[in-house]
């Protein structure tokens, strides 16, 4: 029940077109859910720029494409994550403006890109095999209206590559650090910055990496304070959280 309906009802009452009992009955039927919806949903207006997301893995391409198309009727950007090319092909047929990232395996549909807020989200990535997850984080943050920088292939076993970029690292507003195998990079980067750092373990590795468990546990046990962690391979979640934080930085309370 939106406010207009409510106002109409009240005006009808005032004009004597509706009796108290009728109004009471109407209000009694006043769907809890709608009031609840309204109230809970006050933050929906605030969600401008927050993308709708379709997790495409395990869905058939036509299903995934249909879901993306339906969501794209709304005003905000739509992301299709873990999408094979065929999903994109089907989306593009209907919406030629759709984009596809081969690396991140993402389909992106946006009416027009959001203006970029100040601040920088820096996405750092240990090895080239971690790129799909890193790029998923980077694109998510970009679509949500952030400047994104990328720093690739700066694994901890070659510190000089990371140290060569220490100023860029320390300049970032929020950091997303992506690593598989032993997952040590967030700890090392976390020791160099005083900004929020979101660690993303990846399933890159074999044997005792146990599908990313080794990196996940390492990140949860990081000795660098202030490091927080998302699920294995969850580049989308990290980009989303980074954007939330950067928005705070740009817009204040």
113 lines the binding site for its own copies (CB under 8 A): no
* Among 98, 40, 94, 55, residue whose Cα is nearest residue 234: 55
224 lines the binding site for its own copies (CB under 8 A): yes
235 lines the binding site for its own copies (CB under 8 A): no
What is the three-class DSSP state of 63?
A: helix
Residue span binding its own copies (CB under 8 A) among the ranges 1-9, 68-76, 91-99, 100-108: 1-9
125-144 residues in contact with its own copies (CB under 8 A) are 126-127, 129
Q: Which is nearer to its own copies, 65 or 232 (CB)?
A: 232
Two tokens at 153? 């292939």
CA angle 13, 18, 23 (to 5 degrees): 80
42-61 residues in contact with its own copies (CB under 8 A) are 42-43, 46-47, 50, 53, 55, 57-59
Q: Which is nearer to its own copies, 97 or 158 (CB)?
A: 158
Residue with tokens 């076993």: 157
One-letter-per-residue 3-state SS of 37-59? HHHHCHHHHHCCCCCEEEECCCC
Contacts of 51 (CB under 8 A, 6+ apart): 76, 77, 78, 79, 140, 143, 144, 240
Question: Which H or E element spans position 143?
Answer: helix 131-143
115 lines the binding site for its own copies (CB under 8 A): no
Q: Which is nearer to its own copies, 2 or 96 (CB)?
A: 2
From the CB of 98, what's the least distance to its own copies, in Å?
21
From the CB of 90, what's the least distance to its own copies, in Å?
18
Q: Print the binding letters for residues 150-189 with its own copies: x by CB under 8 A, - otherwise.
A: -----xxxxxx--xxxxx--x--xx------xxxx--xx-
What are the angstrom distances between the C-alpha of 194 and each of 59, 154, 197, 203, 225?
A: 41, 19, 9, 27, 9
215 lines the binding site for its own copies (CB under 8 A): yes
28 lines the binding site for its own copies (CB under 8 A): yes
77 lines the binding site for its own copies (CB under 8 A): no
220 lines the binding site for its own copies (CB under 8 A): yes
33 lines the binding site for its own copies (CB under 8 A): yes
112 lines the binding site for its own copies (CB under 8 A): no
Contacts of 121 (CB under 8 A, 6+ apart): 138, 141, 146, 147, 148, 149, 172, 173, 174, 175, 176, 239, 242, 243, 246
From the CB of 96, what's the least distance to its own copies, in Å?
27
């Amino acid at each position: 029940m939106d406010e207009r309906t409510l106002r109409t009802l009240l005006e009808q009452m005032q004009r004597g077109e509706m009796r108290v009992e009728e109004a009471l009955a109407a209000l009694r039927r006043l769907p809890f859910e709608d009031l609840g919806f309204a109230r809970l949903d006050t933050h929906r207006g605030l969600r401008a720029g927050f993308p709708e997301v379709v997790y495409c893995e395990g869905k058939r391409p036509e299903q995934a494409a249909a879901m993306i198309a339906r969501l794209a009727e709304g005003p905000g950007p739509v992301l299709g994550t873990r999408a094979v090319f065929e999903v994109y092909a089907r989306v593009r047929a209907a919406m030629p403006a759709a984009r596809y990232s081969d690396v991140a395996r993402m389909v992106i549909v946006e009416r027009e890109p959001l203006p970029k807020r100040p601040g920088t989200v820096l996405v750092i990535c240990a090895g080239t095999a971690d790129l799909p997850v890193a790029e998923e984080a980077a694109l998510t943050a970009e679509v949500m209206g952030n400047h994104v920088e990328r720093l690739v292939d700066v694994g901890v076993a070659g510190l000089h590559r990371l140290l060569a970029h220490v100023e860029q690292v320390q300049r970032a507003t929020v950091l997303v650090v992506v690593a598989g195998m032993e997952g040590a990079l967030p700890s090392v980067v976390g020791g160099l910055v005083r900004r929020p750092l979101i660690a993303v373990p990846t399933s890159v590795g074999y044997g005792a990496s146990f599908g990313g468990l080794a990196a996940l546990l390492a990140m949860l046990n990081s000795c660098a304070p202030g490091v927080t962690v998302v699920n294995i391979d969850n580049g989308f979640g990290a980009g989303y959280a980074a954007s939330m934080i950067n928005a705070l930085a740009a817009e204040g309370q």
